[in-house]
Structure 1
Amino acid sequence: MSSLPLSLATPKYCNLNPKARIATWNVKTLNDTRAAGARAEILVQRLSENSIDICCITEVRWPGSGSKSISGWTVAFSGRDDDLKRQGVGIVFSPVAARSFIAAEAISEGVMLAHFQLKSKKLSVICAYAPTNDYPETEKDAFYSELQTALEKTSSRDTVMIAGDFNAQLGAEDPCSWHGSLGKFAYRKPNLKSNDMTHRLLNFCVSNELVVRNTFFNHKRIHLATWMGLTADDNAPNIRSQIDFILTKRVSAGQVLNCRVFRGAEFETDHWLLVSECRLTFKKSPREAKPVRYSAELMRSDDVQKEFRAAVNQQFDSSRHELSRSPEIAWQQFQSAMQVCGDDLLIAASQPHKPWLSARTLELIEKKQIAYRELLSTRKEGAIMALRKDHGNEKIPLSKKKYRTAVNLCRKSVRQDKREYWRKMSEELMGDFQKNNIHSAYQRLNLRMERETAKPLGSGSVRRPDGSIATDRDECARLRREYFQKLLNCQRDIHPSVWDRLPVHA
């Protein structure tokens, strides 16, 4: 029997090996003034280079909560309510994952929850940033109470992934003592001791039937450690540890195919990117056709007006013998002719968003990443790097000095690009106001404000009476129906004597 070609035997919607990459990364901050606000753009670039679909970022340091669109990606974040730029978590997802995004909910500055629609079920992603071991017991208790609250807001049928910085070291624990929640490939080193955050994390996993998934895969030691602590002595080896983890339900642990650290992603942070490959397929919602909008700028142009009149007259002259005497049909023919001419002449070409980072800055960013990889290749545990004499007897590693220089050059170029961007924008605004083109000027301002201002979380979602976000489609339909029944079918208690006093006209 002859076999069919693979393109015919396999439906187009069937992916034989679907993989989604879900990661976590402690970014230190997205609010660095030295980089002139470019850290978010660089973060999106790094995630795109590593084919990440969803990334739980910690230590964002953005106050409040909301979501921003950056270079086509969505950054949903949850920070402090007192406007202090500390802690904070966020969930960054790609345009592909955005098409299956349902809703996000800010729990606290250390916990955030987001829901995505898969082909057969929902994916609930929880981003967590735990306090360090030296924090008071009350703050540790509050964090795990908030994490438990976020977990209870997910359905038992959902695929749940919890990722973030837990500040716990699991390498000193025996995997057999934790009922299968801990794997045997945690990062281990001599004299490693467990702390209070270690026991809290493992107790949380055991009580909720979760597994620490990145401790179940056997990789090189450099692909297990997620954090590098810089020592005071430049010549001494750095301290490495594993404090970032990805947790999943025990019943769905097989969906995580691999989990390891990718050290090549550079972001001026002491944490490395932890990536998990999962057997998940996002459900793509159909894209709604946007209504056609004609350009008011083109309508004001005298040349375009003359060309439009000529095109309309030509359209009517060519179909004059087909005009109907019926007013309805004649109106439809007139409307069709105007629409054809408008589509040809009055639709302005779309202008894609251009990043304000110059080509020189992008080149410096790449050079900085190359210098970072050279630094990683020389900084081995127990090894001394090549040294050079500088400023008397001070010795600085060659690779570290090169990386510091690349970082400073990159920050300087970013600040120059930011100043140049605002200078050009102010010139364009002044030109619009001088030409009395108020519409174009305010359009530029509104567009810039939309990109700078964060949108509130859950603005397009359906909420339950207690304020929580509903994610099930049937539940959302029921809540909408109940809301409009209560809104439009109000019961009025009117005394019968009122009807008797109403005037009746025969």
Structure 2
Amino acid sequence: MGDMNAKLGGDNTGRELTMGREALGEMNDNGELFSDFCAFNDLVIGGSVFKHKDIHKTTWISPDGNTKNQIDFISISRKWRRSLLDTRSRRGADVGSDHYLVEGTFKVKLKASRIAGDRPQCKFNTQLLKDTTTKDTFTATVRAKQETLRDITEESCVEEHWKSLKAILNETCSTVLGRKKRQDKEWLSTDTWKLIEERRMVKEKMIQCKDGQEKETMSSTYKHWTKK
């Protein structure tokens, strides 16, 4: 998947196993190289297989809005060809580029794998032990539970003593301290999300604009927003 800078066209004569007849334009040199690469590696070019309107095949547009090409593709192993249900471009996706987002729809059956052991949990909230009352409660609870260790004979192995003590500590921590609450920090600030939304609105207006000169001006405005 990526920007191959390759045009394939709709003529797939001799390349039927590698590509379909739905690609835009005419094949160029990079298109031949890309097609040969896919044939050598037993790949199928998704963007050439599925029937869509031209606006949903276009993956790149020039700044003036006059030149449109399909040069970004998703390829898949011919073994898994039936898993690829569709590919198309998404003009509305705001990615800050003169390329459109290429979307692929897959249906894959995966075998569930078993993970040994429990999933990792949050750490116990040991900060509560700084409070005298909580600390006294924790200590008293552990001591009370330790009375049960007397039932373990001296002949018992060290491993049994350790397992019993570990169980006491875990149980006491769980009931007295509890676990820390996981706090996920926002990776983008509110101001950044606001800029992204404003840039998205500029792109929507640019796509809907019909006047060539105005569209070129809006393209420059969009690039300015992208740099922000």
Q: TM (normalized to structure 2)?
A: 0.76
Counterparts of 1:216 and 1:258, CA distance in 2: 8
2:151 pairs with one of 324, 330, 344? 324
Higher mean C-alpha deviation, range 321-330 or range 215-224: 321-330
Deviations 1:305-361 (A, max 9, x none): 223124335x45xx9799637455995766544332122234441323312422232
More helix by share: 2
Cα distance, 1:229–1:306 mapped onto 2, change above 3 Å: same
1:358 lines up with 2:185 in the alignment: no
Verify the 8 A CA contact 2:122 2:179 in the aligned structure 1.
Answer: no
Verify the 8 A CA contact 2:63 2:216 in the aligned structure 1.
Answer: no
Which structure 2 residues correspond to residues 173-212 of structure 1 after superposition, within 5 A? Answer: 174-188=11-25, 194-212=27-45
Per the alignment, residue 176 of structure 2 pairs with: 345
Verify the 8 A CA contact 1:179 1:206 in the aligned structure 2.
Answer: no
2:97 pairs with one of 263, 269, 277? 269
Which structure has the higher relative contact order (CA within 8 Å, separation 6+)?
2
Per the alignment, residue 165 of structure 1 pairs with: 3
1:278 lines up with 2:102 in the alignment: no
Specify the code of the residue in structure 2 equivalent to 1:384: D
Counterparts of 1:170 and 1:185, CA distance in 2: 9
1:214 partner SS: helix
1:226 pairs with one of 34, 59, 83? 59
Cα shift at 1:238: 3.2
2:75 partner SS: strand
Verify the 8 A CA contact 1:298 1:348 in the aligned structure 2.
Answer: no
Residue identity (%): 25
Per the alignment, residue 80 of structure 2 pairs with: 252
Specify the code of the residue in structure 2 equivalent to 1:374: K
Structure 2 unmatched ranges of 5 or more = none
Structure 1 unmatched ranges of 5 or more = 1-162, 232-236, 388-394, 412-506
Cα distance, 1:345–1:322 mapped onto 2, change above 3 Å: closer
Counterparts of 2:219 and 2:29, CA distance in 1: 34
Cα shift at 1:246: 1.8
Counterparts of 1:264 and 1:297, CA distance in 2: 48
Q: TM (normalized to structure 1)?
A: 0.38
Instruction: Report how many residues are paired.
Output: 222
Specify the code of the residue in structure 2 equivalent to 1:324: D
More strand by share: 1
1:311 lines up with 2:149 in the alignment: no
Counterparts of 1:362 and 1:164, CA distance in 2: 26
2:50 pairs with one of 201, 217, 225? 217
Verify the 8 A CA contact 2:56 2:90 in the aligned structure 1.
Answer: yes
Specify the code of the residue in structure 2 equivalent to 1:166: M
Cα shift at 1:220: 1.0
Per the alignment, residue 373 of structure 1 pairs with: 204
Counterparts of 1:321 and 1:202, CA distance in 2: 73
Cα shift at 1:300: 4.6
Counterparts of 2:31 and 2:47, CA distance in 1: 15
2:151 partner SS: coil
Verify the 8 A CA contact 1:165 1:244 in the aligned structure 2.
Answer: yes
